[in-house]
Amino acid sequence: MASSRESRFSLPPQILRLVLLTIAIVAVYLVARYFLTPPSFGQFGFYRGDVLQELASLEPVYAGKKACEECHSEQYQQVAQAEHKSVSCEACHGSGQAHAEDPDVKMAILGFSRCVRCHEENPSRPKWHKQINSRTHYTGEKCTECHLPHQPNEVP
Amino acid sequence: MKPPLTRRRVLGKLGAALAGLMTLPVARTVKAAVQKLRVAPGAAKGYDPTQHRWVMAIDVNRCIGCGLCAEACKKENRVPEGPNYFRTWIERYIITQPKPGSAVARGEVLVDSPNGGMNGFPEPPVKRESIQHSFFVPKLCNLCAHSPCAQVCPVGATFDAPDGAVLVDPKYCIGCGFCIQACPYGCRFFNPYTRTADKCSLCYHRITRGLRPACVEVCPTEARLFGDLKNPVADEALQKFYAENRVQALKPHLGTEPRVVYAGLDKEVS
């Protein structure tokens, strides 16, 4: 200490302690950060890279129409050539992943509500889309008596 | 006795500091090598997020407001029931006739989305004769290239994935809600069950399996198109969409550069 007292730039001891304390705190932070940051953090950017796999691990509920085609290729072909070709199977039949995995799980039975969901007349719907007023359009009859859902232009 | 502070000593110390800085890259490489050993594969198996750039194109003229997309989204992503929780929803725009002699081209703009359009749309709230123009607009996360939600996240829980999806890390999210306020499109909500911010994940579990997002899968009129800009085989439907339409994004003045693009938008849509 004698030498430092003689030098022109001696640090007061309380400042020295503060500096050492600061360095110690920063060092503890850096060590904690090194060990606690998940390894995948920063893999793609400022986030945990592992989360991509975690988010991708959710199981689908809708199987996609390719899965339907595997067993129901006949119906798939019918629809693909008719007016409803842009409509995927699960749009009307509902989610089908459970049925695709186990055919014993039955799909929902469809009815009138599925047809009018898209085809009920509404002034906000675009004019190119075919619409009916279900209160005046052949009330009491089933839609399928006149229209085949898979080939809507054909008459049964 | 300590030597006095001379120019030589100061220069020497500066040189030593510089040499110390030079060793930093070496230390960084060593650390990177160590980290690499500890890193688990981040993306799903067989899926490389850097090899895709997803986009969604929505043709407003083709949307019939059936609400199948909103319904399928809830089911697919286990989104909570209730009218406030939607990852995608449909808005109905009704523009009324202007009052005669009012010297305006368009009347009032009415926007509604009863239960997100999930159960379809009831009769319009105004008389049919007074409607000048009406249409449906599907909404979802706009997949901004410069996403405000990711910028404001204080914990790095929301981020832009390399494939263009804007995702939330539910383990990192602290539920502060900054992102919900930051999103200019109102596409985020607070999930009361997970207590985290929730949003469209672009059906990340589906697109990594080669399936289309649920909303695109069930859309009966192909109003929603989904594609990959990095796909070497150009997506025909998407190419056609860009070629045949005047394509725009929502709120372009904000500079968010959405990757969800629309055709047939009116200026009233925001």
CA distance B43 to chain A (A): 5
- Residue A46 and residue B68: Cβ atoms within 8 Å? no
Contacts of A54 in chain B (CB under 8 A): 171
CA distance A139 to A154: 20
CA distance A26 to A116: 66
Its ipTM equals: 0.82
- Residue A52 and residue B131: Cβ atoms within 8 Å? no
Query: Residue B204 domain-assigned?
Result: yes
Q: Where a domain ends, among A20, A37, A56?
A: A56
The DSSP symbol for A138 reads S
For residue B42, give the nearest of A40, A96, A77, A153 by alpha carbon: A40
* Cα dihedral A134, A137, A139, A143 sign: negative
CA distance B256 to chain A (A): 19
- Residue A88 and residue B217: Cβ atoms within 8 Å? yes
Please check whether residues A49 and A113 belong to one and the same domain.
no
Please check whether residues B128 and B181 belong to one and the same domain.
no
The B109-112 sheet, strands edge to edge: B109-112, B88-96, B131-140
Beta strands at B189-191 and B196-198: parallel, antiparallel or unpaired: antiparallel
Q: Decide if B171 touches A, using CB distance below 8 A.
A: yes
Nearest 10 degrees: Cα torsion A74, A76, A80, A84: 120
Q: Using the predicted structure, report yes or no on whether residue B39 has a pLDDT greater than 50.
A: no
- Residue A91 and residue B65: Cβ atoms within 8 Å? no
Query: Residue B96 domain-assigned?
Result: yes
For residue B202, give the nearest of B165, B231, B229, B227 by alpha carbon: B165
CA distance B2 to chain A (A): 6
Query: Residue B269 domain-assigned?
Result: no
Banded model confidence at residue B36, pLDDT cuts 50, 70, 90: low
Residue of A nearest to B205 (CA): A56
For B172, list phi and psi in degrees, rounded to 5. Answer: -95, -25
Q: Which residue has the higher pLDDT, B82 or B233?
A: B82
Query: Residue B9 domain-assigned?
Result: no
> Could you tell me the residue range of the domain that residue B183 belongs to?
148-198
CA distance B189 to B11: 58
Query: Residue B226 domain-assigned?
Result: yes
Mean pLDDT (whole number) for B90-105: 93
Mean pLDDT (whole number) for B234-256: 91
CA distance B141 to B259: 9
- Residue A62 and residue B214: Cβ atoms within 8 Å? yes
Q: How many CB pairs under 8 A join A and B?
A: 163
Banded model confidence at residue B35, pLDDT cuts 50, 70, 90: low
Q: Residue B95: which H helix or E strand, with range?
A: strand B88-96
Mean pLDDT (whole number) for B35-44: 50
Q: Do the Cβ atoms of A43 and B39 come closer than 8 Å?
A: yes
Please check whether residues A50 and A71 belong to one and the same domain.
no
For B159, list phi and psi in degrees, rounded to 5. Answer: -155, 160
How much of chain B exceeds pLDDT 90, in percent?
69
- Residue B66 and residue A43: Cβ atoms within 8 Å? no
Please check whether residues B219 and B132 belong to one and the same domain.
yes
Cite the DSSP H helix spans in chain B. 7-38, 68-77, 148-152, 178-182, 204-207, 214-218, 236-244
Total domain count, chain B: 2
Q: What is the pTM of this model?
A: 0.82
pLDDT of residue B27: 67
In one-letter notation, the amino acid at residue B158 is T
pLDDT in tens, A55-95: 999 999 999 989 999 999 999 999 999 989 999 999 999 99
Please check whether residues B119 and B62 belong to one and the same domain.
yes
Angle at A55 between CA A49 and CA A57, to 5 degrees: 115
Residue B237: CATH number of its domain: 3.30.70.20
Total domain count, chain A: 2
Range from A54-58, A137-141, B6-10, B40-44 carrying the lowest mean pLDDT: B40-44
- Residue B162 and residue A41: Cβ atoms within 8 Å? no
Q: Which residue has the higher pLDDT, B1 or B202?
A: B202
Q: Decide if B121 touches A, using CB distance below 8 A.
A: yes
pLDDT of residue B41: 43
Please check whether residues B140 and B118 belong to one and the same domain.
yes
Banded model confidence at residue B43, pLDDT cuts 50, 70, 90: very low
pLDDT of residue B30: 65
pLDDT of residue B236: 86
Report residue B197 as tokens.
């911010």
Q: Do the Cβ atoms of B145 and B113 come closer than 8 Å?
A: no
Contacts of A80 in chain B (CB under 8 A): none
Contacts of B120 in chain A (CB under 8 A): 117, 120
CA distance B64 to B222: 10
> Could you tell me the residue range of the domain that residue A98 belongs to?
65-146
Q: Decide if B162 touches A, using CB distance below 8 A.
A: yes
pLDDT in tens, B233-244: 778 889 999 999
pLDDT of residue A86: 92
- Residue A124 and residue B212: Cβ atoms within 8 Å? no
Please check whether residues B214 and B256 belong to one and the same domain.
yes
Ranges in chain A, pLDDT < 50? 1-2, 4
Q: Do the Cβ atoms of B157 and B168 come closer than 8 Å?
A: yes
Q: Where a domain ends, among B158, B183, B198?
A: B198
**β-strand partners of B166:** B160
